[in-house]
Amino acid sequence: MLPILVFVVPVGFAVLVFALGRVHWIFREGLALLGLVVTFAISIAICGRVLGGELLTAWDRNLYVDGLSALMEVLGSGMGIIIVLYSIRYVTRHQLGMPLNPWRHTYFYGLQVLFLGMFNWTCATNSLIMMWVSMEATTLSVAFLVTFYWQRQSMEAGYKYLLLVSVGVTLALLGCVLVYAAAIPFLPGHNILLLTEIGKVTKLMPESVVLIACAMFVAGFGTKAGLIPFHAWLPDAHAEAPVPISALLSGIVIKIGAYALARTVTIFAPSYGAVVIFVAIMASVSMVIGIIMAWAQDDLKRLLAYHSVSQMGYVVEGLGLGTYLGIYGGLFHLVNHTIFKGLLFLCAGALMYATGSRRISELGAVTKKMPVTAFCFFVAAMSMGGLPPFNGFMSKITLFFALADRGLLWAAIISVIVSFLTLACLAHAAYKIFWSKPAITSNPEIVTKKVPFLMQVSMIVLALFCILLGVYPYLIYPMLDCATKCILRILGGA
Amino acid sequence: MVEDIGAGGDLIITLYLIHFAFSLLAAELRNLKWSIVAITIQSLFLTSILATFANIAANPSLYWWSLTSLITKVIIIPLLLLLYIRQLPTAETRPWLGTAPSVAAMFILVVIFYSFLHTNVEFIAPTLQAAVEPARSNLALSLTICALGLWVLLLRKDAAKAVIGLVLLENGVHLSLVTLAPTLPETTIIGIITNVIITVWLLLYLAGRIFQTLGTTDTATLSELKH
Amino acid sequence: MTTLWILLCSLGILALGAGIAAITYKQHKTCSWISFATVFASTTGIIYCAAQVFINGPIKTAQPLFSLPGIGASLMITVDALSALFLVITSVICFCSTLYSIHYMSYYKGESLLRYYPFLLLFALGMMGVVCVSDMLFFFVFWEFMTLTSYVLVIYERNEEINLRAGFLYFLLTHIGLLCMFVAAFLLYARVGSFSFKEMQNAMGMLLTQNTALLHLVLTLFFIGFATKAAALPFGAWLPEAHPVAPSSISAILSGVMIKMGVYGILRVFVWMLPSSHAWYIWGGVIAIFGIISMVIGSLAALTQDDNKKLIAFSSIGQIGYILLAVGMGMSFLRVAPPLAAVAFLAALYHLVNDAALKALWFLNAGSIIYRIGTRDLNRMGGLGTLMPITATTGLIACLSVAGIPPLSSFTSKWLIFQSSLIGGIDMPIYLVFGVAAFFMSVVTLAYALKYMNATFLGKSHGEINRSLITEVPISMKIPQIILAVICLGLGVLPIMVLKVLYPALNSLLPFGYLPRFTALFGSGLTGINLSFAGGISGMWNPLWLIIAAGFCFGLGYLVFRFSSAGGSRVRVAETWYGGRKHAAGEVRYTSLSFYVPFKQYFAFRVKGIDFEGLYPKTLHLPRMTIPQWLRAVLDIDHWLYYPFASGFVRLSQWFSRVHVGIPQVYILWIIIGVIAAIIVLFTLPAG
Amino acid sequence: MSYSHCQRGKDMTSAIGIGILNLFIALGLSPLFEGVARKLRATVHSRIGPPVIQPYYDLLKLLGKEDIRSSSNYLAGLAPWACFAVVATATLFVPIGTGEAPFGAFGDAILFIYIIALAAVALIVTAAASENPFALIGASREMMMHLAVEPVLAIALITAAINARSFGMGDMVNWYHFHGPSLSMITATIFLFLALQAQVGKLPFDIPEAEQEVMGGVLIEQSGPQYALLMWSMMTKQIIFVSLFCQIFIPWPRTGNLAWDILIHLAKVLVVVLIIGLIDVVNPRLRIDQAIKYYLLLVFFSLGSIAFAVIGA
């Protein structure tokens, strides 16, 4: 029952929000928050039971919740709560010179909840095609959040997002169809769609088909995950969406791609070594080019977006390895990236809220005025740069070891270098923003507003998690371990 | 596509040809209204192909497929298109490639692509059944149409035309399902098609808003966010 | 054992205090008082331990606190009476200096206290460590610790280039010295494979029998090292440059304690460590010669100085000369005439203690002047005695002490030196000459002391001095001077007591059987000394009776005054009489430059373009801390590595990001190309 | 040497008694000797000159006069007094007529030299504390004279000490008295006599006070009782040095009787004072640098006496 609830509940709440949202803000923010909290509770329950060692299935195993799904669900709904908390003050009050429009805020929250529902569905479903469907659904549900401000840039970003992701994901559909078709001869009719079953017969499939399917998957899900060269939508969307949505995008949306890759490509890893190397190459390319591009950015959000591209490289690389250490590291980095990148975006939002600018060249020397933001930013930055004792260090070090362990030394070296470059880039940006005098001094007093309490709270919570997971990784170890074991079990089934 | 295939083969071949022709028309017609009509007809023939396959392969579930596609692809999507086209200029904005060269290039490309696929379809055919007619040519054709859709997406600046290209792409995939995954449950098909519809709708709505703001449907002008 | 712990605690608290001071350096008062409290605590602890040592014998660690078995070095603490003596000197003077600093440091406006108090405390810790350890390696460790911290303190005013240069000279010379000592220690270590003092002693014994040349090489290297630190000329060229530029409170420690560490080293190595042999005789002569050189040149050079702290610095060289002379005599006499040797050694220790006290006092005094006037130039002072009576009195006491005027301190020590040198000189005439020279130099000492006195406190004030503004220094700067002045007086008035304290220190230093009984040397008197070397009493000195007599005579003088006032004489303060002319105050002055000109000219000459004044080069060419151009270029990683790389990287990234043309169709093209590429790559890659 | 031992510290009373006697002689009779010297100078100048006790009158008159100081520095008031007291103290450490200085048990030749030095210090401080440039010039010169002359005295005493193997004044006196003339002592005597002129500050070596150049130098600002004390201490210094010279370097003749010894001593002192006065009259004043050169040469030669002493000659 829980696997159904976990995505039906948010959808229901979304409907409620859409229905009542315009009446009173209680029915927008309140209901949305309530819905997410309930969802979170459900995911926690699921998580508990999964850690207990049972597999939750429903609808004739079309819904199948294992450790990985549970992890993703907890992560998604938890992050969702924080983002909604942040939005309450950010989006509702921070108008960017627009008249307050209840309908718009209604669908802002409604779509967020709906998206979470779809996301949970993606994680819960076990059917190949349905996973694709729900994934496309998440894409669509986010589209109008990206274009939230309905200004030129936001619409442009939204258009590109919608078009590119649809096209890319359609390719993934082709891949799904191919795999499905290839699985037909070896499986009884009603099982063909189930990933868990397909995983068992990958060896028997014709290699050419598998490889093409893998290419399609990487292209399609890679588009969603923002891997180079399918990432084109990502910087625009991240930059132009409202800050909470940027956090949502790089915190959760692109993780769906990674999740899908973990579900699909990983099942071929043990039987097809080429796939592993190929994924490693793709990932390395993404992290290198992503960080290179990040260096040139003056727009803080765009910079962070490119960092997302680069960091997703780590995640995918780890997941693609198909070894315990690799998958563990990949998932760990996935979780960490959700936390610290979300935090970074929220900090950027706080900066924009306070100063009305997101250009690094216009910002400067704001530490005195906004210490909390500065603190959070540094925590997140150091975490992403892979400095102990923050969570980023833990996952990255795991990944390095995993790569070296798998014999991909070149990839390990690249990852280390990129990690240093990341740190350097962020330190550079942080220095410019928080200490040095602004390069372009438009007005002497940059900080005009005070960052509201709710926003600070949500930032601090994330920052605390950054540190907590850094100094006490065991907090999350069981879930990660369980998730990794699940993936490996599927592989082992093969 | 000249060699002999079994019973009802010729019918299928003709359907293929007409379907393919209309796909080309949909891609190439400069007047949006007409190209919408073309895509509608193309979808209609897709439906008929589905029905025929249901008949040939004696697979009743394919009838339901054809029904859904009839409702969605022949009725809903064209309606949506026409609905939003009304706010947009009927004449498509100049594409990257002029009509004549575009037609020529596309024709050559399509033929080469198709023949290539058709000759070594085994390469992508996951099963033996998929490697024999009519599935063979079906697979080749569907992938060709996908390529066509991509071609349209690549070379057409017009927002509405891009939508049409996307529809072509989806149709191609849909067509491939017929032979690759005839046992696919109805629900998934509905899910896929719903997605397509929503995508189309969102894109069209966006195109409308963009036209309101920018006064053009030329997506090439949507290039403010660069570097 | 408890005593040891108290000792360790009183050392450890210094490190702790340094940490706290480093944290709180922003708050001037807090930092100062914390440091002072720390030093006070450690001083009390140290004095208690020292008393324990003098009463109950040496403190030893049963097992090493910390050891490097691989290289045979272990941190052993051994505090015998000699160490205890140095510990007391160090702690007391550091105490005074820290107390003095509290207000004095406000004179250095722009400078951060972070570079002062923490290093001051660590400096004290280093010096105490040097005298506590009984292992050569850790001896060097603490030695280096002491040197580096003091270096930081010397260049406290970093902005003036001359300071940095002087600091660099100090750094350079002391490290050359350290290097020499290190080589020497390793030559010994090669023999026994251990750094502990006992083993070193054995190694020296071996060398003595097996390879005397090597032994003398080792001793030479050791001597160079210690002489450099003790600032014996010509090795001590750093001292006249480094002392003046350091803050006065630091100069007080440097010249009061740190250079005495060189003497400690010499005593440890040449007397305590070196087995009884003819080497004593030879090296005694060498040390005495260097002593006499330092004494003569230092004193005469001090006579020519017009920078008050530089004058005192040269005076320290001169006094170190006295100490080394005494040590040398002691070593020479040790085997032929132990009583003479004992007296000489005691004289050395006595003079060391005196000089520590009075040099600290003198530097603090000079510091007070600088604190008020803001200059070190003796020509720009004058007439401050009326404005700063207390400071003037302490200054006078310092001057008379250094000149060895009875009954102040360093009369007794000099008296002992003369006695032993002149009486001992009968058999070794060289020391007779040295004794006469020492005598002559003590008159010169008196001369420069009076020059300081006259130029600073007496005579007419310089025109620039606004007499209405100048007042007595704060109480916290007066107290240390008064303490030290009282110490100077006490050391002079109670020679027997002091000698009774020094006797065990010497006893711990000399091999068994070399030290005569105390009463045999100094008679059984409690107030006075009846000095006797083996045959007959050769000298008497009884401060008590001198004071009584002087008091009586003062009484006579007082009677005369009463008589005169009874005769109707009254006191009146009138204008200065310039032979009938009127002159504004400070217009007609007799500057320190003019003092003793005819006398100075006998010791001024010119060699190869270098002016010598008082046998010492007038301007020492200070080395500049320069890095060769190529090395700088290599070290400048920013220049040749970072900037090009970074700029290139940014250019690369800008070029890359230009790929984002923003046109959707192009992005779709990317996707398609990506797919094709992916397929190609996948099929080209080796499977498995 | 043994002789002095049995006498030294025999009884405190005799020591104190002789001490008081010394003080009386040195302080009380010094103006008289000064008067005699003046009389001599007058006769050489073929004048009548002042009465012999004129210095007493001078002192009394000065003591009655107003005490004008040019500085409020307390040292200015203290130093002359200290100078007087120190000189008086010094008298206790020289044997006057006796075989042993009254306080000989409490201090030896080295102490005596330092006390004399302290007297010079007191004089210099007096001068410097009266913030008069002339006085400072005088102080500088005084110090330089001290630098140049003190070693000669020291070397002479050291010679005696080496011979006597002791720095005790009594030991020296007794040693020379018993041992009889020796080369080293005679050379020392000559050199000390040459130094005596400067020690007592007479022409040609009265450079620090030189009235004609620096108007009294160290004494320029002194007046009234202070001046009196300084004058008095200077006269006393003269007696001290002369009697030191007579007692240590010409210890004969000596009867065991105290009164006779003192009378003989005074006679010797008178003779020496007259000689000094004669030199004083007939000589012009030297420049300070000439004086220094002269005495530094003297120092080097007088080292010879030590050399003789070492070889026992």
Q: Which residues of D touch C571 (CB under 8 A)?
A: 66-67, 69, 77
DSSP state of C572: E
Q: Is residue C52 part of a domain?
A: no
Residue spans of alpha helices (H) in D92-168 = 109-129, 133-164
Look up the pTM and report it.
0.65
**C563, C594, C622 - which closes a domain:** C563
Residue B22 phi, psi dihedral angles, 5° rounding:
-70, -30
Q: What are C529's strand-pairing partners?
A: C541
Residue D8: per-residue pLDDT: 46
Task: Out of B154, B224, B227, name the one closest to residue C668 (CB).
Answer: B154
Which value, in Å, is the radius of gyration of the alpha carbons in chain D? 19
Closest CA to C251 of C51, C96, C469, C44: C96
Subunit contact A140:B198, Cβ cutoff 8 A: yes
Q: What angle do CA C180, C182, C183 make, to 5 degrees?
A: 65
Instruction: Using the predicted structure, report yes or no on whether residue A494 has a pLDDT greater than 50.
Output: no
Residues C498 and C353 reside in one and the same domain: yes
Subunit contact C686:A168, Cβ cutoff 8 A: no
Neighbours, chain D (3 or more CB pairs < 8 A): C
Residue C617 phi, psi dihedral angles, 5° rounding:
-55, 135
Residues C393 and C470 reside in one and the same domain: yes
Q: What is the pLDDT of residues D282-302, one digit of tens each?
A: 888 888 888 888 888 888 899
Closest CA to A171 of B165, B143, B19, B179: B143
Residue type at position A223: T
Sign of the dihedral defined by the CA atoms of residues A288, A293, A299, A302, in that order: negative
* Cα(C128)–Cα(C131) distance, integer angstroms: 5
Average confidence (pLDDT) over A332-338: 94
C661 touches chain B (CB under 8 A): yes
Subunit contact D75:C458, Cβ cutoff 8 A: yes
Q: What is the pLDDT of residues C313-350, one digit of tens each?
A: 999 999 999 999 999 999 999 988 899 999 999 999 99
Best residue in D12, D65, D89 to probe C by mutation, most C CBs within 10 Å? D89
Q: Are A6 and A43 in contact (CB under 8 A)?
A: yes
* Cα(A339)–Cα(A381) distance, integer angstroms: 11
Residue B7: per-residue pLDDT: 52
Subunit contact C663:B219, Cβ cutoff 8 A: yes
Chains C, D: CB pairs < 8 Å: 259
Instruction: Using the predicted structure, report yes or no on whether residue D156 has a pLDDT greater than 90.
Output: yes
Q: Which residues of C touch A159 (CB under 8 A)?
A: 664
| Residue burial C213-222, b: 16+ Cβ < 10 Å; e: rest | ebbbebbebb
Mean pLDDT of chain B: 85
Q: Look-up: residue for tokens 């994934």?
A: A135
Subunit contact B209:A185, Cβ cutoff 8 A: no
Lowest mean pLDDT among A46-60, A448-462, C544-558, D33-47: A46-60
Residue A457: per-residue pLDDT: 92
Closest CA to C95 of C142, C44, C148: C44
Mean pLDDT of chain D: 87
Residue C514: per-residue pLDDT: 87
Lowest mean pLDDT among A182-191, A396-405, B203-212, C113-122: A182-191
Q: Please, how many CA atoms are within 13 Å of residue A105, restricted to the half-sphere of its CB?
A: 28
Residue type at position C572: R
Q: What angle do CA A39, A9, A130 make, to 5 degrees?
A: 100
Q: Is residue B2 part of a domain?
A: no
* Cα(C586)–Cα(C581) distance, integer angstroms: 14
Q: What is the pLDDT of residues C157-198, one digit of tens each?
A: 888 888 888 888 999 999 999 999 999 998 998 888 888 898
A152 touches chain B (CB under 8 A): yes
Task: Out of D75, D111, D151, name the one closest to residue C541 (CB).
Answer: D111
B207 touches chain A (CB under 8 A): yes
| Residue burial A141-177, b: 16+ Cβ < 10 Å; e: rest | bbbbbbbbbbebebbbbbbbbbbbbbbbbbbbbbbbb
B38 touches chain A (CB under 8 A): no
Closest CA to A52 of A70, A40, A64: A70
Mean pLDDT of chain C: 89
- CB neighbour list of residue C311: distance below 8 Å, 6 or more residues apart: C302, C305, C378, C448, C451, C452
* Cα(A97)–Cα(A171) distance, integer angstroms: 40
User: Residue A152: pLDDT band by 50, 70, 90 thresholds?
Assistant: confident
Best residue in C658, C665, C679, C683 to probe B by mutation, most B CBs within 10 Å? C665
User: Residue C448: pLDDT band by 50, 70, 90 thresholds?
Assistant: very high
A181 touches chain B (CB under 8 A): yes
Report strand pairing: C571-573 vs D67-69. parallel
Residues C505 and C651 reside in one and the same domain: no
Chain C, 600-619: which have a CB under 8 Å from a chain D CB? Answer: 601-602
Q: Are B95 and B156 in contact (CB under 8 A)?
A: yes
* Cα(A293)–Cα(C649) distance, integer angstroms: 10
Give the residue on C whose Cα is nearest the Cα of D230: C557
Residue C483 phi, psi dihedral angles, 5° rounding:
-55, -50
Residue spans of alpha helices (H) in A184-296 = 195-201, 207-225, 233-240, 243-248, 254-264, 273-295
Residues C303 and C449 reside in one and the same domain: yes
Average confidence (pLDDT) over C531-542: 84
User: Residue C360: pLDDT band by 50, 70, 90 thresholds?
Assistant: very high
Q: What is the pLDDT of residues B112-154, one digit of tens each?
A: 988 888 888 877 777 777 777 777 888 888 889 999 999 889 8
Residues C466 and C382 reside in one and the same domain: yes
Task: Out of D103, D150, D161, name the one closest to residue C545 (CB).
Answer: D103
Subunit contact D132:C576, Cβ cutoff 8 A: yes
Q: How far is B131 from chain C (nearest CA, A)?
A: 20
Q: Are A341 and A439 in contact (CB under 8 A)?
A: no
* Cα(D156)–Cα(D145) distance, integer angstroms: 17
Report strand pairing: C571-573 vs C78-79. unpaired
Residues C357 and C442 reside in one and the same domain: yes
Q: What is the pLDDT of residues A273-296, one digit of tens each?
A: 788 888 889 999 999 999 999 988
B181 touches chain A (CB under 8 A): yes
Domain count, chain C: 2
Q: Which residues of C touch A163 (CB under 8 A)?
A: 664, 668
Q: How far is C289 from chain D (nearest CA, A)?
A: 19
Maximum Cα interatomic distance, chain B, rounded to a whole number of Å: 57
Closest CA to C679 of A218, B60, D85: A218
Q: Which two tokens stand for residue C9?
A: 């605690």
Q: What is the pLDDT of residues A84-125, one digit of tens each?
A: 999 888 876 555 555 667 788 888 899 999 999 999 999 999
Subunit contact B169:A170, Cβ cutoff 8 A: yes
Q: Which two tokens stand for residue A326?
A: 């690799």
Give the residue on B whose Cα is nearest the Cα of A296: B227
Q: Is residue B226 part of a domain?
A: no
Closest CA to A280 of A405, A421, A123: A405
Which domain covers residue D127, as residue numbers?
Answer: 2-311
DSSP string, chain B: --S--STTHHHHHHHHHHHHHHHHHHHH-SBHHHHHHHHHHHHHHHHHHHHHHHHHTT-THHHHHHHHHIIIIIIIHHHHHHHHHTTS-SBPPP-SS-HHHHHHHHHHHHHHHHHHHHHTGGGT-SSSGGGSTTHHHHHHHHHHHHHHHHHHHHH--BHHHHHHHHHHHHHHHHHHHHHH-TT--HHHHHHHHHHHHHHHHHHHHHHHHHHHHHS--BGGG---S--
Instruction: Using the predicted structure, report yes or no on whether residue C100 has a pLDDT greater than 90.
Output: yes
* Cα(C396)–Cα(C293) distance, integer angstroms: 27
Q: Do chains D and A touch (3 or more CB pairs under 8 A)?
A: no
Q: How far is C160 from chain A (nearest CA, A)?
A: 30
User: Residue A13: pLDDT band by 50, 70, 90 thresholds?
Assistant: very high
CA–CA distance from A116 to each of A32, B202, C398, C589, D198 (Å)? Answer: 11, 19, 87, 95, 113
Q: What is the pLDDT of residues C391-435, one digit of tens each?
A: 999 999 999 999 999 889 889 999 999 999 998 888 888 999 999
Q: What is the pLDDT of residues C41-90, one digit of tens each?
A: 999 999 999 999 998 888 888 788 777 777 778 888 899 999 999 999 99
Q: Are C521 and C339 in contact (CB under 8 A)?
A: yes
Q: Which residues of D touch C405 (CB under 8 A)?
A: 114, 117-118, 121
Q: Which residues of C touch B150 (CB under 8 A)?
A: 668, 672
Q: How far is B185 from chain A (nearest CA, A)?
A: 9
Q: How far is D14 from chain C (nearest CA, A)?
A: 15
* Cα(C315)–Cα(C301) distance, integer angstroms: 8
Between the two ends of chain B, the Cα-to-Cα distance in Å is: 47
User: Residue D4: pLDDT band by 50, 70, 90 thresholds?
Assistant: very low
Q: How far is B169 from chain C (nearest CA, A)?
A: 13
Residues C512 and C650 reside in one and the same domain: no
Average confidence (pLDDT) over A361-390: 87
Q: What is the pLDDT of residues C584-616, one digit of tens each?
A: 766 778 888 888 888 888 888 888 888 888 888
A324 touches chain C (CB under 8 A): no
* Cα(C305)–Cα(A422) distance, integer angstroms: 62
Q: Which two tokens stand for residue B100?
A: 């004549």
Sign of the dihedral defined by the CA atoms of residues C483, C484, C485, C489, in that order: positive
> Burial, C686: exposed, middle or buried (Cβ in 10 Å; 0-12, 13-18, 19+)?
exposed
Q: Is residue B104 part of a domain?
A: yes
Subunit contact D118:C590, Cβ cutoff 8 A: no
Q: Which two tokens stand for residue C44?
A: 């009390």
Q: Are D52 and D35 in contact (CB under 8 A)?
A: yes
* Cα(A246)–Cα(A238) distance, integer angstroms: 5
Residue A441: per-residue pLDDT: 61
Residue B4: per-residue pLDDT: 44
Domain count, chain B: 1
A195 touches chain B (CB under 8 A): no
Domain count, chain D: 1
Which domain covers residue C475, as residue numbers?
Answer: 276-563
Q: What angle do CA D270, D271, D272 make, to 5 degrees?
A: 95
Q: Is residue B47 part of a domain?
A: yes
| Residue burial A74-86, b: 16+ Cβ < 10 Å; e: rest | bbbbbbbbbbbbb
Lowest mean pLDDT among A150-159, C69-78, C240-249, D234-243: C69-78
Between residues A435 and C319, the one the model is more confident about: C319
Q: Is residue C50 part of a domain?
A: no
**C511, C528, C563 - which closes a domain:** C563
Subunit contact C682:A230, Cβ cutoff 8 A: no
Between the two ends of chain C, the Cα-to-Cα distance in Å is: 72
Best residue in A59, A184, A231 to probe B by mutation, most B CBs within 10 Å? A184
Residue A237: per-residue pLDDT: 93
User: For chain B, what percent of residues have pLDDT higher than 90?
Assistant: 19
Subunit contact B155:C661, Cβ cutoff 8 A: no
- CB neighbour list of residue A60: distance below 8 Å, 6 or more residues apart: A190
DSSP state of C135: B
Q: Which residues of C touch A234 (CB under 8 A)?
A: none
Q: Count helices and strands (H / E) in chain C.
A: 26, 10
Residue C2: per-residue pLDDT: 82
B187 touches chain C (CB under 8 A): no
Q: What are C74's strand-pairing partners?
A: C67
CA–CA distance from C385 to each of A222, B129, C254, C395, C487 (Å)? Answer: 89, 119, 27, 9, 22
Residue A28: per-residue pLDDT: 84
Residue B1: per-residue pLDDT: 39
Q: How far is B124 from chain A (nearest CA, A)?
A: 5
Q: What are C68's strand-pairing partners?
A: C73
DSSP state of C252: H
A232 touches chain C (CB under 8 A): yes
Residue C369: per-residue pLDDT: 93
Subunit contact C665:B155, Cβ cutoff 8 A: yes
